[in-house]
Amino acid sequence: MRRSEAARYARWAVTSAALLALTVAGVYAYRSFEAARARRNAPPVVPPAVRKQSAEFSFSKVEQDRTLFTVRASRTTEYKAGGLAQLQDVWITIYGRFGKRFDNIHTRECDYAPATGEITCAGEVQIDLESAEEAKQRPGERVIHVGTVNVTFDRESGELHTENPVVFRFPYGHGRGVGVTYSTRDAKFTVHRDVELTLTSSGKEGKTPEPVVLTGAGLEYQRDSRTMRLLAPVRVKQGERLLTAGALALEFDAALRARRLVAGGNPQYQSSETRGQLAVTAQEIVTLFGREGSIERLQAAGNVTGRLKNAAGEDRLQSQRAEVEMEPGRNLAKSLTANGNVSLDAQHRGGTRRLETQLLRIALGPGRKRAERRIELAESLAPATLEIRNGEESTRVRGERLAAQFDERNVVHHLTGSNGVEVERRLGNRPPQVTSSRDLAMRFSAEGEWTEVEQSGSVRFREGDRNAQADRARMVRAADAVTLTGSAAVADGVSRTTAPSISFNQRTGEIRAEGGVRTSYFSAERNSVTNLAPQPAHLSADQLLANRSTGRAVYSGHARLWQGDAVIEAAAITLLRDEQRLEAGENVLALLPQAPNPAAGVAQRNIWRARAAHMTYWSSEGRVRMEGDASAQSSVGHIQSRTLELYLTSANNGPKQLSKALATGGVTVQQRGRRGTAEHAEYLADEGKIVLSGGRPTLYDSILGTTSGRQLTFFLADDKILVDSEEGSRTLSRHRVEK
């Protein structure tokens, strides 16, 4: 073989060998790739401890053809030892006995014991509580999300349980606690201890109210009724406001907003307000929330007590029930309504006030600051009593309806009453003054002390045994006076007085009457001053000033008294009860009767007209003293002197009649053409004679001429004159005896 052929043969052999090697290597590589792919697609190798693995797992609990819950897992591993199965990507969906719920429990991995039906999830567990309707219409919007760890779920009982911390959140709040039990059969979610719940909301105009924080020893949430209960001790706090209670129930609406909060077990509420420290207690307190989360209404029931305390004093409200209405979206009180044995007490440095009624409404309005509230109006919607005490003074107002208006400082400035009111005022040990009427208006000072009261419509007044009536009444506290106007009349056991205006002063005991006063004293026996006749005594004047304490009554301005036939007229007449004396002054005129006595020269009823500058009558003595140019005139004659005393007597309890007259000082007596002068004169009605004495008694007679003597006596019946002189006594007759 040639060398060139051998070379070609060698090259060909090498190339063939290389191609063969590449072919073998390709086949081997392809087979290795196919084997690897087959290994990847082939089921994993079952470990020795595993009995079986499956891609999906699901079982359901059914009662009466209704699915209560379903347990699903994306992968299941059954172990040979212990009979356990491991579930991965676990979902437990709870429908409830009536199919109203769509609650889901989700975790990455759980252990399942088929023999007992218990599922144990050691890792993080997410629980979502949602209704079936909301899951269809608003999936995921109205869900309560609960997070915890180490949960057990019992397939037979349908109960979920953990003793580990839990957190939960919902659209308008969040919370935490320790330990959870969830009964799918009863739809009850329970947090065992250390519960804290925070309610949040969005306020109007972007302003977010302070959150409400609730704490309790435990929590129970009833899924179907959306009711959450906190176990004692319970605390609810919002800013400076604090509520403690023995039990609390919180109801949510469909959107999981707080709708109603019920605090029981004698709850106590306290807060620091601008006006002071506020404390409220009751057997139950209910809070109603609006859609935006603000408080709409507060309701308290059962022995409700509210106290507001500050540096000025303390206010206390008690009732069986109370309700506070709030302004929408602002958490500011709009009104307070209390009913059932309502009492409102205010104790301040200026005194105390107490209001009692069955139904009270207080309207609140804006204060000086934006967040402040003040009282605008307080009104009783049932009969009420308001008592104001200040030292020894007390004023009580009763009315079918009472309404008080307040200024911007929360100080009352006006009180009105309607449909029948009564005012009772007491000063120390004095008899109370009681005034009733149809309507009332009471005014107060800037310090909140009442200053005056006006009443109208069928006014009635009472003070001890004194009663009065009028169209209107006005009580002024500073003057301690009550003034009745409009057909005013006052009466007691002794007298009755009418006038356009009558006023009473409780402190001094004075009574004043103005403008056409008329008084009647009913009986002379009961009034020892005006006893001129057994008939009632009547007085009239322009004004009257009287005092029950001193027993003094002054009738002034055209004063006139008449009783039987007796009449007294003067500028002023004064009655002095304790002294049993009557005084009259300025141009006094007294008409006094004298009984007929034919034997004494008085054939018929005789009236003496006595005049003087001043008159005094002592009723116990029956004596009248006329002073200052005194005179007395009748059909018997005329007597004039500086002073004149008239003596009155009565027979068989009849009217007082003139029995004697004594004149003193510059006496002048005139009688049927005779005129006598002396320093003294005495008229004796029974004997029908006049005796002149003192000075140089002189009698001027048109027939007998002038007669003088130490004492002159002339008789009315037969015109005899007895002359007592130094020469002895002699008798003269006006008629000459013919021989």
Query: For residue 392, is it within any domain?
Result: no
Cβ-based neighbours of 270, under 8 Å, separated by 6 or more? 241, 242, 277, 278, 279, 280
Give the whole-angstrom CA distance, residue 681 versus residue 667: 7
Query: For residue 43, is it within any domain?
Result: no
Cβ-based neighbours of 674, under 8 Å, separated by 6 or more? 699, 700, 701, 702, 714, 734
Domain carrying residue 118: 50-173
Report the candidate in 285, 305, 294, 300 with the shortest Cα–Cα distance to residue 332.
294
- 556 forms bridges with which residues in the sheet? 543, 572
DSSP state of 293: S
Give the whole-angstrom CA distance, residue 550 versus residue 510: 9
Q: Give me the amino acid identity at 334.
A: K
Chain-centre distance for alpha carbon 490: 33
Query: For residue 232, is it within any domain?
Result: no
Span of 10-14, 120-124, 505-509, 634-638 with lowest mean pLDDT: 10-14
Reply yes or no on whether the pLDDT at 286 is more than 80: yes
Q: Give me the amino acid identity at 451.
A: T
Give the whole-angstrom CA distance, residue 177 versus residue 170: 15
Cβ-based neighbours of 264, under 8 Å, separated by 6 or more? 245, 246, 247, 248, 249, 283, 284
What mean pLDDT is predicted for residues 109-131? 87
Q: What is the pLDDT of residue 135?
A: 76
36, two tokens: 């690897």
| pLDDT top residue among 639 and 184 | 639
- Out of 173, 194, 209, a domain closes at 173
pLDDT digits (tens, 9 = 90+) for 417-461: 999 999 999 888 888 889 999 999 999 998 888 999 999 999 999
Half-sphere exposure of 176 (CA within 13 A, CB side): 2
Task: Specify which of 9-13, 263-267, 524-528, 613-617 reaches the highest per-range mean pLDDT.
Answer: 613-617
Query: For residue 221, is it within any domain?
Result: no
Question: In terms of C-beta distances under 8 Å and separation of at least 24 residues, what long-range contacts does 262-265 make, across chains too?
Answer: 262/286, 262/287, 263/234, 263/236, 263/287, 265/232, 265/234
Q: What is the pLDDT of residue 496?
A: 92
- CA angle (526, 531, 536) in 5-degree steps: 70
Reply yes or no on whether the pLDDT at 48 is more than 50: no
- Out of 144, 173, 202, a domain closes at 173
CATH number at residue 81: 2.60.450.10
What mean pLDDT is predicted for residues 226-233? 88
DSSP state of 101: B
How would residue 45 be classed by pLDDT, with cut points 50, 70 and 90?
A: very low
Q: What is the pLDDT of residue 287?
A: 87
Query: For residue 379, is it within any domain?
Result: no
How would residue 39 be classed by pLDDT, with cut points 50, 70 and 90?
A: very low
Cβ-based neighbours of 140, under 8 Å, separated by 6 or more? 130
Q: Is 97 helix (H, G, I), strand (E, B) or coil?
A: coil
| pLDDT top residue among 200 and 164 | 164
What mean pLDDT is predicted for residues 587-606? 77
Query: For residue 403, is it within any domain?
Result: no
Reply yes or no on whether the pLDDT at 41 is more than 60: no
- Out of 121, 144, 173, a domain closes at 173
% of the chain surpassing 70 pLDDT: 86
Give the whole-angstrom CA distance, residue 528 versus residue 533: 11
Q: What is the pLDDT of residue 457?
A: 93
Give the whole-angstrom CA distance, residue 305 versus residue 303: 6
Half-sphere exposure of 14 (CA within 13 A, CB side): 6
What mean pLDDT is predicted for residues 376-391? 91
Report the candidate in 434, 364, 374, 361 with the shortest Cα–Cα distance to residue 401.
361
pLDDT digits (tens, 9 = 90+) for 643-688: 999 999 888 878 889 989 999 999 999 987 789 999 999 999 888 8
How would residue 490 be classed by pLDDT, with cut points 50, 70 and 90?
A: very high
The model's pTM is 0.72
Into how many domains does the chain fold? 2
Query: For residue 718, is it within any domain?
Result: yes
Query: For residue 406, is it within any domain?
Result: no
pLDDT digits (tens, 9 = 90+) for 131-180: 777 777 777 777 888 999 999 988 888 888 999 999 988 888 899 999 99
